[in-house]
Amino acid sequence: MSVEGKQWHLNTQPIVVTDGNVRSSSGRRILLAEDNPVNQKVGRGTLEKLGFNVDIVANGADALEACASGRYDLILMDCQMPVMDGYQAAREIRLREAGKGRIPIVALTADAMQGTEQHCREAGMDDYLTKPLNRSRLKSTLAKYLALPTPEITAMSSTAPNKQNAPTEDPIDWDQFMTVTDSDPQFAQELAQVFIDSGDAALRDIRAAVANNDLGSVQRVAHSFKGSSANIRADRASGAAGRLEEAARAGAVQEIATLEQELRVEAERAIEFLRARCA
């Protein structure tokens, strides 16, 4: 249900962010429209380091209400959300603008499939970023649309491709996870707990949907879990969720039970790994 009038603000999570190293973004406010709690946490932590003020909403309808306040410089819009998805929300925002100013909308999507960019553009979005968020790409995109100085590529980001090519036997690439959290032990523990809680809920929802032969729900929850797993660098769990999502989308009923079990195994490995590391 959408939020009426000023009540939208009661359903946001205000994040007042300061960072002395990024003075040029001081005072800028970003609306992050994202329903997944892990992705919210990662997005919050990443934007925090860039010095922005941020509000979070969990669906496109709330994003519309928030945007009507006129207090945002840019919207980061997840494409797949409940109530109203990001595409619908972007179209409605453009209709309401009616040529009177244009707020930049940057799509967030876990789908890197051909045609995704065109779909985003047709909905009125200005750009898109794929999940998991790449910090350097995010910096450059924000600099582009908010007229900020273009950031330098750090040594950390320049070495990321080599790290990504190195295989790991662990269910989570711990070095990359700590990069996401900037080696902040408190943030790492908080993010791990959010993933554990939301992961347990996602696995329950998927099992119930499989039992009810509800492929739409299987696809939706698997898609969400794919993104959150990728954001904490649980690549095997993310891959398993992606395969289940694709099978549900294709209606491959005969594969669903096996893929659901594969996802459960990988997800539980990731969850137990985090519990051991962040205890």
Amino acid identity, residue 19?
A: D
State the pLDDT at residue 150: 57
The 10 Å Cβ neighbour count of residue 257 is 11
Say yes or no to pLDDT of 48 above 50. yes
Q: Assign 140 a pLDDT band (cuts: 50, 70, 90).
A: very high
State the pLDDT at residue 114: 67
Say yes or no to pLDDT of 237 above 60. yes
CA–CA separation, 274 and 171 (whole Å): 9
List domains and CATH numbers for the chain: 5-156 (3.40.50.2300), 174-277 (1.20.120.160)
Total-model pTM: 0.81
Which letter, b or e, does each residue of 151-161 get, where b requires 16 or more Cβ atoms within 10 Å of its Cβ? beeeeebeebe
Which has the minimum average pLDDT: 69-83, 100-114, 219-233? Answer: 100-114
CA–CA separation, 191 and 40 (whole Å): 10
Say yes or no to pLDDT of 10 above 50. no
Say yes or no to pLDDT of 213 above 80. yes
State the pLDDT at residue 117: 84
State the pLDDT at residue 100: 81
Query: Average pLDDT, whole number, for the chain?
Result: 84
